[in-house]
Amino acid sequence: MLPEGRSRRSGDGRRDLTAIAISCFARYGYQGTSIDRIAREAGVTKGAIYHHFRSKEDLLAAAVMDRIGEFETRVQSACRAAAPDESLRRIAEVCAQHATSEDRPRFAIKLMVESIETNDPVVEEMRGMMRRFRAFLRNIIRAGQDGALFRADADADALAALFTSAVIGAETQFYLDPKRFSLEHTLETFVDQMLDNLRLAGAAQAREGGAIRD
């Protein structure tokens, strides 16, 4: 972690350690990651970590806030100025892209699941993130309903909950079985199906047309 000249630089220590902690937590989870492991991977000693962070929990909090911020930026950027149906597509796409990237995609699911019943501060943050994500999706669906693109009688909240479920469930299975579980295809199927369901009368024809596309 030290720069090549081996002099001590100011300012990057905390950020670099957070990045390494994110990698470790994403792979081993919080309980499975020791401070010694983080220190070792950073090429420093534990003392250096405790210089920047009050505790292991403090380090976890920094990691969680970093990942939540990145996630929300990614989702918002994906559907800027797009139509509601295109927005839903793009969100599914960026989730799939991130899940297959090198940016420690497993962090959110690992820490979310691990923290259930055992780490209330993290659960609170993750819960907030998921609520915001569902609200964001619900608002997209409602915008489509307001614009007569989607049928008005669909339950936007339930569909938003379903969208987030499909994303979490598909990512989990992909991480478990990357050779045999196709994340992108599953999410694409999901969005197709949801949009079919959301579209107005005439959907049966659209579906026949869909078959021709393949």
Partner DNA sequence: GGGAGCATACCGACCGTTTAGTATGCCGCG
Partner DNA sequence: CGCGGCATACTAAACGGTCGGTATGCTCCC
Which residues lie near DNA (CB under 7 A)? 1-2, 5-11, 13, 33-37, 39, 43-48, 50-52, 54-57
Q: Which does 27 bind (CB under 5 to 8 A by kind): DNA, its own copies, none?
A: its own copies
With a CB cutoff of 8 Å and minimum separation 6, the contacts of 19 are none
Structure tokens at 142: 């409602």
User: HEC string of 178-205?
Assistant: CCCCCHHHHHHHHHHHHHHHHECCCHHH
Distance CA 125, CA 131 (A): 10
Q: Which is nearer to its own copies, 19 or 123 (CB)?
A: 123
Kindly tell me which of 42 and 194 has the beta carbon lying closer to its own copies: 194
52 contact choice in DNA, its own copies, none (CB below 5 to 8 Å, kind-dependent): DNA
**Per-residue x/- marks for its own copies, 162-181, CB under 8 A?**
x-xxxxxxx-xx-xxx--xx
Burial state string for 29-46 with b = 16 or more CB within 10 A and e = fewer than 16: bbeebebeebbeebebee
Look at the block and give the residue holding tokens 């962090």.
107
Could you say which of DNA, its own copies, none residue 22 binds, taking C-beta under 5 to 8 angstroms by partner kind?
Answer: none
Q: Which does 46 bind (CB under 5 to 8 A by kind): its own copies, DNA, none?
A: DNA
- 76 lies in the site for its own copies, by CB under 8 A: no
Is 130 a residue that touches its own copies (CB under 8 A)? yes
Tell me which of its own copies, DNA, none is bound by residue 35, counting a contact when its beta carbon lies within the kind-specific cut-off of 5 to 8 angstroms: DNA
Tell which one of 36, 45, 73, 116 touches its own copies (CB under 8 A).
116
Contact (Cβ atoms closer than 8 angstroms) between residue 182 and residue 173: no
Instruction: Select from its own copies, DNA, none the partner in contact with residue 87, using the beta carbon and a kind-dependent cut-off of 5 to 8 Å.
Output: none
Give the residue among 66, 70, 73, 75 at the shortest CA–CA distance from 22: 66
DSSP assignment of 11-24 equals SSHHHHHHHHHHHH
**Cα four-point dihedral sign 31, 37, 38, 44:** positive
Residue 104 zone, left/alpha/beta (φ > 0; ψ -120 to 50; rest) = left
- Binding residues (CB under 8 A) for its own copies: these are 27-29, 31-32, 106, 109-110, 112-114, 116-118, 123, 126-127, 130-131, 153, 155, 158-159, 161-162, 164-170, 172-173, 175-177, 180-182, 185-186, 189-190, 193-194, 196-197, 201-204, 207-208, 211
